[in-house]
């Protein structure tokens, strides 16, 4: 039924802020893209469900076992778990991870290529 639907692109960004509460920043986020994948839309996949899926996939201890190839690849690249302040994009719409929920961002974050422990730039 959904085989004809184009994939939805999900992109994962780590927040580069040194602030211990980067999710409180109102604008000017600087992030590094660390991972991207195509998700096939399902009958009820909303942006919220796709951001929650990303959090569930990449918010685990990287040493834990997961057979999902996205998790295996993400961890093999040396990336840390997602934290509040990190950003997920669903087909170009950006959401910032808060401590309890995802918030839509009015403006796209500033993307920079910055390596740090646990943050391995995708490109």
Residue with tokens 């834990």: 64
- Helix, strand, coil share (%) of the chain residues, nearest 5: 20, 30, 55
pLDDT at residue 63 tops 70 = no
The string of pLDDT tens digits covering residues 68-113 is 899 999 999 999 999 888 999 999 999 999 888 899 998 899 999 9
- Please tell me the distance from the alpha carbon of residue 41 to that of residue 29, in angstroms, as a whole number: 28
**The whole model's pTM is what?**
0.86
Q: How far is CA 61 from CA 37, 68, 92, 108, in A?
A: 20, 14, 27, 28
Task: Parse the chain into domains and list their residue ranges.
Answer: 8-111
Q: What is the mean pLDDT of residues 24-39?
A: 82
Grade residue 64 by pLDDT with cuts at 50, 70 and 90.
low
- Average pLDDT value for the chain: 84
- Please tell me the distance from the alpha carbon of residue 93 to that of residue 54, in angstroms, as a whole number: 14
């Amino acid at each position: 039924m959904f085989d004809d639907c184009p994939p939805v692109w999900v992109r994962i960004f780590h927040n580069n802020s040194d602030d211990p509460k980067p999710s409180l920043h109102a604008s000017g986020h600087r992030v590094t893209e660390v991972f991207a994948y195509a998700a096939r839309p399902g009958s009820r996949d909303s942006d919220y469900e796709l951001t929650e899926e990303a959090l569930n996939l990449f918010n685990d201890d990287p040493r834990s076992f997961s057979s999902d190839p996205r998790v295996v690849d993400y961890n093999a690249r040396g990336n840390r778990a997602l934290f509040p302040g990190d950003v997920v994009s669903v087909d170009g719409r950006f959401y910032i991870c808060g401590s309890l929920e995802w918030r839509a961002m009015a403006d796209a974050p500033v993307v920079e290529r910055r390596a740090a422990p646990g943050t391995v730039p995708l490109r």
